[in-house]
Amino acid sequence: MGEIVLDTNVLVRVIVADDPVQLGRAKKLLNSSRVLLLESVILELEWVLRYSYEMSPEEVGRALRVLIGLRNVQVVRKRLLLSVIEAYERGFDFADALHHACAEGLEVKTFDRKFVNRGKKEGWRVSLV
């Protein structure tokens, strides 16, 4: 089978294992196909795990690291994603960390003071509008 992209709900099944039938189908797919993880899916996955399953940033970070470390899983910008996970585990909002990383050195303008204050401490180019 060729490369495929998995939707968030398939990845959730693999991580939380709350539906044995879907878990089996998802694992079979992960073991038989090359899977490309999209940044948009990873962003949604973090939100679902945090909001719906009340996982901590450390638990989410661990799950994401395991997922991107699977043999058949590819991430377009793996180093970028790992830096986002590290920032998230240090207390950044996942989406903010991803936005900053994807900006690739460009300044991020925001109304979010918390993002600016944390970002400045990291040396990030982020400022208030």
Using CB atoms within 10 A of its CB, is residue 26 exposed (0-12), middle (13-18) or buried (19+)? Answer: buried
Summarize pLDDT for 55-99 with one digit per residue, the tens.
999 999 999 999 999 999 999 899 999 999 999 999 999 999 999
60 neighbors 49 (Cβ within 8 angstroms): yes
53 neighbors 16 (Cβ within 8 angstroms): yes
Domains of the chain: 3-76 (3.40.50.1010)
108 neighbors 124 (Cβ within 8 angstroms): yes
Summarize pLDDT for 32-47 with one digit per residue, the tens.
999 999 999 999 999 9
Tokens encoding 9: 């709900």
Regarding pTM above 0.85, the answer is yes
Q: Tell me which DSSP letter residue 6 carries.
A: -
Average per-residue pLDDT for the chain:
95
